Amino acid sequence: MRPKPDQPLDLKTLKVWKITSAFGSVFYGLLPLIYWGASRIWTFLPVWPTYALAVLAFLFALINIFIIQKLQWKRWRYKIYENEIELMYGVFILRRVIIPMIRVQHVDTKQGPLFRYYRLASVTISTAATVHEIPGLTLEKADMLRDHIAQLAREADPDE
């Protein structure tokens, strides 16, 4: 059996994911308000679901921010080999993806506003079929990894 990839994401990635989840949870918090407004317009709707929705939205936000994001960060691993890239990620369903170097067409780095603030970047690996991403690396590591993968992909290409 193949060993699991051993390269983790930067710890600051967890902080960014928690912030992003908190912003996303605001939308779930709007559901009780929308229902409450609807119950004011249509008086036949009971008010008690407003409280149930509020509790559920709050619990979902707590679980997502403090448990799911930590599990996601803990399980995200990658490893760069000479002939392939291996990614492992997932919370409830663990995925292991192997990308042959010969299939790599393009490697890039990207940053959103939060990643830029925390000096992080993602490495995107494009193949003919899809784009894979290694999120949450330091800027230096992302640049080094991008250049390293690009070099290995050039060496693996039989046309060059």
**Count of domains for the chain:** 2
In a domain, 2, yes or no: no
> Which residues, in sequence order, are CB contacts of 55 under 8 Å at separation 6+?
none
Q: 82 and 143 share a domain?
A: yes
Q: 88 and 151 share a domain?
A: yes
The tens place of each residue's pLDDT in the chain, 160 residues long, gives 889 999 999 999 999 999 999 999 988 888 888 888 888 888 888 888 888 989 999 999 999 999 999 999 999 999 999 999 999 999 999 999 999 999 999 999 999 999 999 999 999 999 998 999 999 999 999 999 999 999 999 887 766 5
In a domain, 1, yes or no: no
In a domain, 65, yes or no: yes
- Could you tell me the residue range of the domain that residue 44 belongs to? 7-73
Q: 97 and 33 share a domain?
A: no
- Helices 48-63 and 11-41, interaxial angle, to 10°? 170
pTM (2 d.p.): 0.86
Q: 69 and 89 share a domain?
A: no
